[in-house]
Amino acid sequence: MLKKIFKQTIQINQIPKYFLASPKPNFPIDKIRNFNIIAHIDHGKSTLADRILEMTGTIVKGEQYLDKLQVEKERGITVKAQTAAMTYEYKGEKYLLNLIDTPGHVDFHYEVSRSMRSCSGSLLLVDACQGIQAQTLSNYEKAKDNGLKIIPVINKIDMPAAHPEEVAENMQLQFDVEKEDIHFISAKTGVGVDGVLRAVVEKLDPPKADINKPFKGFLIDSWFIKDQGVVMLVQVKDGCIAKGEQIMSCAFKKRYDIFEVGILNPEMTPQNSLTAGQVGYIFTNMKAVSDARVGDTFHKPDEEVEPEQGFQEARPMVFAGLYPDDPEDYMQLEKSIYKLALTDPAVHIYKESSAALGNGFRCGFLGLLHMDVFKQRLDDEYNLDCFLTTPSVPYRAKLRNSQKILEVENALMAPDDGLVEHYEEPLAEATILCPKEYVSAVMNLADERRGEQKEINIVDEKRFKLKYTFPLSEIITDFFDKLKSATQGYASLDYYHSGFREAKIKKLVILLMGEPVDSLSFMVHERRAHDFGKNICKKLKEKLPGQQFTVAIQAKLGSKIIAREEIPALRKNVTAKCYGGDYSRKKKLLERQKEGKKNMRSIGRVQIGKDTFVDILKN
């Protein structure tokens, strides 16, 4: 079967190396296909996208095109959704194919979700070596929930470790597809890709759109171009729009003049107009990316339309402090961080000040990878020396004798314990795939992280699928590393935020000589509090210099001291000069030293240096 595919498929080196002229505007709706590629991370989405662009003559053969960010190239991941319009000739007729390349990592699921809203089908890509993974299942479920048709594709069939027939059997069981509908390809060499393009035309429906209705555009994405403004990526649901016209936002009721419309081919290519069914960009006099809310609906000011429903805006679920290494770099950091945020509206930024760390920012991210990518982009694009504090999750505090609920993103914002009736912590629904011999190890790890098992199923003869509900705080730091370690690297994980639940959360404060250190305040679960407090106290004991009096370091949970460490007093040998004589002389000197230390202990203060704070709080 695979030999047949190799013989019938056009090889990439046979594709002429030239850029195709931009697709002509005003394609009939029945000749338009909008689709995306969904897969687990590193299963070859961006490589397949580049092969498709090459085989349609849209770009010349070369490096990965859709992954444009430096961080995307370095890490081999897709961070931003990218779109490309291309023309494909099939049975003597030309079709307009709009491809949206989406991220595979869990942190960027909002990019996947919004791309699905603009598609009629998805290429479900599975690695022939790794098989079905946790995010494969998750993305499949999202696609089905959005009513998309699925085209199953098995990639990397040219790899020595590939077992495509076995993977195909698993896909039949998990995704209810027929074997003859599965495409076996190598995105790297181009084998089988032409068959995928034919399937896109044959099996996917044209977009549900009506050119005779008033213009309605659904906002998929937006980005900021320096010295020009905001560019919006939209799908034209109905009607048409052209340069020189005006549009209005359903969310903000603001009007904007249109300077340019066009398609991404894959670069911005101006057109006279965008018509129903097309995906393209609109450049207006909008100056703030915050006015381009993803999921918003745009229309002409004199034509009312029904806004698109059902889209949930991305919400940050991981918060961390961002501070400059040198306080003098604060203004440069402020300027750079807000510039970068223009290209990433999912990041939430607030100014904050710490007595220990100075002026900085409290940033909200979608997840840990999102946080790391944002920090790396600051380093790559602005050459800044800064650091992130340990990430935390947002909690909700239900106040006593009140219906008010406070969002607590930072322990310093937490109200006094006496005012709080209870706290609620964010939850995550997690799917874990692992070999059967490691199921016990995974279950033990899940129990340690307060996981509640929802179901356990057999994926195939070698692997199990486990579904858990976890507190988000238990899995955002080192859970994935621990999972990989427990399964020798064979497990995969996918999770999504699933609401809040009441929990025994309390504020833990570190005391130094009986005085609270505000910068060392944390929100922790009662079950974790003792170990967490003890760990912080030990770190402080190691980092703080000795004094001439005993330094007490304590961890306080509510009104109870749960951990304590002491730094012994530095002792001077006051009897060194006594070479003989009555012992009472030595005793008198020792008593005087003891009294002096007692006085110092009552008035002494211990200063914690910035480096110590950074070592303890740094992520």
The binding site for GTP comprises 39-46, 101-105, 155-158
Binding residues are 39-46, 101-105, 155-158
The DSSP H or E segment spanning 451 is: none
Q: How far apart are CA 355 and CA 546, in angstroms?
A: 22
Phi, psi at residue 615, to the nearest 5°? Answer: -60, -35
Burial of 112 (0-12, 13-18, 19+ CB in 10 A): buried
Q: Which sign does the torsion angle of CA 251, 352, 224, 229 carry?
A: positive
Before 266, cis peptide (omega within 30)? yes
Whether the Cβ atoms of residue 327 and residue 337 lie closer than 8 Å to each other? no
Strands 560-567 and 551-557: antiparallel
Burial 346-379 (b: 16+ CB within 10 A, else e): bbebeebebebbeebbbbbbbbbbbbbbbbebbe
- Within 10 A of 535 (CB to CB), how many other CB atoms are there? 13
Q: Is 391 helix (H, G, I), strand (E, B) or coil?
A: coil
Whether the Cβ atoms of residue 61 and residue 124 lie closer than 8 Å to each other? no
Helices and strands, counts by H and E, the chain: 14, 29
Nearest to 431 by CA among 459, 464, 465, 460: 465
Place of tokens 């509908």: 181
Tell me how far CA of residue 576 lies from CA of 548, 582, 589, 592, in angstroms: 18, 14, 11, 15
